[in-house]
Amino acid sequence: MLRSVSIAASLALVCVLVAGCGARSSKPFTATGSAACFTKKGFTKVTTNPDKVGFIAAFADNGGLIATTTDGNLLTIAFTLDDNSVASTEAAFTAHAPAKLRPRMHDIMESERNAVLVWTTSPSPQQLADATSCLHP
């Protein structure tokens, strides 16, 4: 009986350790680490060129990215230094958005860890899932 309890406890510990190995990295997402995935997911005009990603994304600590969905929805991502920098980047996007768009920012702006995603129009659930799945360190 004692041996079976010991084996069960050992198996439980192995399961916990294996599950921990699959945990997401705490490294910040980056534009260069994410760009190739967007192309694979069917986004077009994917670039990390600071001259093309817009002012806010161009100055983000971990780069900026711009990409277009198949239906023309433009996505801009600013990869901030860390999670703590997201709020100020969201505030910058809101402050520089056209006045008529500001009330709708909660519909077109998302954040995932250190990435701030801003769309031209509200993304479909699939577009959002594709974009967030492409965020990599």
Non-local (6+) Cβ contacts of 107 within 8 A are 122
Against a cut of 0.85, is the pTM above it? no
**Which residues of the chain are under the pLDDT cut of 50?**
1-23
Per-residue pLDDT, 9: 37
Residue 26: predicted pLDDT: 87
> CA–CA distance from 125 to each of 30, 87, 128, 132 (Å)?
23, 23, 5, 11
Q: Alpha-carbon distance 16 to 92, whole Å?
A: 41
State whether residue 15 is helix, strand or coil: helix
pLDDT at res. 67:
98
Token pair listed for 10: 């050992």
In this prediction, residue 24 carries a pLDDT of 55
